[in-house]
């Protein structure tokens, strides 16, 4: 994989530089020791898979990995406001771009890890018919839950898709914006929204919803999960090692079991 090779090469170069202080935080963080903990901010849609991966990594490496999961826009805001984060995994490029624009990413460490698919869901108690996008215009569909389209990646993707097929203006007054995809699941499960847009992987997390329809990959948004090491990382080496582990066969197997598509240099998703 091109991504993994790049991370491995960067890690090798960083290890060669440890006499100059990179291991202890040459980038201005040596006075912010977290006792060997690695703090990873990650999109909430990654939480289930990452909990397993982080647990495995901690057992094999001895490095305690603390996960801070939330909507990617929330995480990006925390980082630009000074939150002490080692590694950021976003659900879209836009939020990582925000952080990069502030000069907070270690150059050369940004990689695309995963891909996902946008889907529409309904409650398992739903008795209506929703099998294709045009059904959203039906009078029986009163509320459509999506992540906040002004910043939450899943909501941005949903709005872009509905706009691309000419439906956004027709359903805009039905939209219920939420803080993240977990909130979309909760709203639909509770019956407070008739339909919701989430990622394919999210459907596996709830017994209270089921798939209404999928957005075809060649018609839907290009949903990718980029990751990068932060310049304020307490240990560049530790962050790079975990980023490399995320691209290992063990981690990739867990991501795939959760429904994600693992990206490599040969894929055009």
Task: Give the pLDDT of residue 79.
Answer: 98
Residue 256 has pLDDT above 80, yes or no: yes
131, part of any domain:
yes
268, part of any domain:
no
249, part of any domain:
yes
Task: Give the pLDDT of residue 127.
Answer: 82
Same domain, 7 and 137: no
Same domain, 85 and 97: yes
Task: Give the pLDDT of residue 5.
Answer: 52
Task: Give the pLDDT of residue 6.
Answer: 58
**Interhelix angle 93-101/153-164, nearest 10 degrees:** 120
Task: Give the pLDDT of residue 10.
Answer: 53
Share the mean pLDDT of the chain: 87
Same domain, 16 and 74: yes
Task: Give the pLDDT of residue 234.
Answer: 92
**CATH number assigned to the domain comprising residue 19:** 3.40.190.10
pLDDT tens string 29-77? 333 445 578 999 999 999 999 999 999 999 999 999 999 999 999 999 9
Residue 26 has pLDDT above 90, yes or no: no
Residue 21 has pLDDT above 60, yes or no: no
Same domain, 71 and 16: yes
Same domain, 106 and 171: no
pLDDT tens string 231-250? 999 989 999 999 999 999 99
Grouping H, G, I as helix, E, B as strand and the rest as coil, residue 257 is: helix
Same domain, 13 and 103: yes
Q: In terms of pLDDT, which residue wins out, 82 or 34?
A: 82
State the total domains in the chain: 2
Task: Give the pLDDT of residue 266.
Answer: 39
Grouping H, G, I as helix, E, B as strand and the rest as coil, residue 103 is: coil
Task: Give the pLDDT of residue 45.
Answer: 93
Contacts for 7 with CB less than 8 Å, ≥ 6 apart: 109, 111, 240, 243, 244, 247
Same domain, 12 and 29: yes
267, part of any domain:
no
- Cβ atoms of 11 and 3 within 8 Å: the answer is no
pLDDT tens string 113-137? 999 999 999 999 988 889 999 999 9
Q: In terms of pLDDT, which residue wins out, 214 or 6?
A: 214
Grouping H, G, I as helix, E, B as strand and the rest as coil, residue 162 is: helix
Same domain, 199 and 133: yes
**Domain ranges, residue 152:** 118-214
Grouping H, G, I as helix, E, B as strand and the rest as coil, residue 22 is: helix
CA torsion sign for 117, 118, 123, 128 is: negative
Same domain, 31 and 84: yes
pLDDT tens string 94-119? 999 999 999 999 999 999 999 999 99
Q: How far is CA 232 from CA 25, 70, 87, 210, 246, in A?
A: 8, 20, 9, 41, 20
Residue 18 has pLDDT above 50, yes or no: no
Residue 204 has pLDDT above 70, yes or no: yes
**Exposure string over 9-47, b if 16+ CB within 10 A, otherwise e:** ebbeebeeeeeeebbebeeebeeeeeeebbbbbbbbbbe
Distance CA 192, CA 255 (A): 30
Same domain, 229 and 242: yes
Same domain, 229 and 110: yes
Same domain, 161 and 80: no
Residue 89 has pLDDT above 80, yes or no: yes
The DSSP string of 44-79 is: GGGHHHHHHHHHHHHHHH---EEEEEE-HHHHHHHH
Q: Averaged over 71-97, what is the pLDDT? A: 96
């Amino acid at each position: 994989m091109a991504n993994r090779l790049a991370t491995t090469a960067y890690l090798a170069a960083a290890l060669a530089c440890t006499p100059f202080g990179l291991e202890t935080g040459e980038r201005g963080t040596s006075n912010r020791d977290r006792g060997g903990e690695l703090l990873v901010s990650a999109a909430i849609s990654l939480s289930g898979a990452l909990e397993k991966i982080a647990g495995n990594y901690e057992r094999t490496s001895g490095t305690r990995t603390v996960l801070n999961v939330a909507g990617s826009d929330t995480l990006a805001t925390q980082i630009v406001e000074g939150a002490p984060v080692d590694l950021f995994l976003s659900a879209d490029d836009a939020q990582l771009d925000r952080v990069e624009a502030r000069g907070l990413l270690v150059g050369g460490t940004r990689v695309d890890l995963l891909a996902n698919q946008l889907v529409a869901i309904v409650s398992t108690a739903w008795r209506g018919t929703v099998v294709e996008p045009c059904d959203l215009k039906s009078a029986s569909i009163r509320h459509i839950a999506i992540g906040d389209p002004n910043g939450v990646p899943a909501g941005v993707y949903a709005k872009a898709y509905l706009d691309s097929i000419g439906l956004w203006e027709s359903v805009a007054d039905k939209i219920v914006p939420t803080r993240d995809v977990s909130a979309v699941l909760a709203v639909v499960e509770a019956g407070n929204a008739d339909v919701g847009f989430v990622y394919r992987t999210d459907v596996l997390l709830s017994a209270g919803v089921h798939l209404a329809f999928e957005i075809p990959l060649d018609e839907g948004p290009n949903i990718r999960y980029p990751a990068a090491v932060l310049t304020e990382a307490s240990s560049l080496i530790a962050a790079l090692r975990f980023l490399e582990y995320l691209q290992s066969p063990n981690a990739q197997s867990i991501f795939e079991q959760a429904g994600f598509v693992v990206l490599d240099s040969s894929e055009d998703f």
